[in-house]
Amino acid sequence: MPQMAPLSWLSLMIMFIMMIIVINSMTYFNKNYKIEEKTNNKKMNQINWKW
């Protein structure tokens, strides 16, 4: 039935878009980012208050 062809294309498009979203989100949340803690101890020790 040619009238049903757009429905199959639509379902295929939705399926592939959902697959792309799921794969991208899995790779994004799987990556471990290193959080660098900034320490200001050196700056605080170098300040010489003269009051």
- How far apart (Å, rounded) are the C-alpha atoms in residues 47 and 51? 12
- How far apart (Å, rounded) are the C-alpha atoms in residues 40 and 45? 9
State the amino acid at position 3 in one-letter form: Q
- Give per-residue pLDDT as tens, 6-50: 778 888 999 999 999 999 999 988 887 777 766 555 555 566 667
- How far apart (Å, rounded) are the C-alpha atoms in residues 7 and 48? 74
pTM for this model (two decimals) = 0.51
| DSSP per position, 16-51 | HHHHHHHHHHHHHHHS-PPPPPP--HHHHHH-----
- How far apart (Å, rounded) are the C-alpha atoms in residues 41 and 51? 21
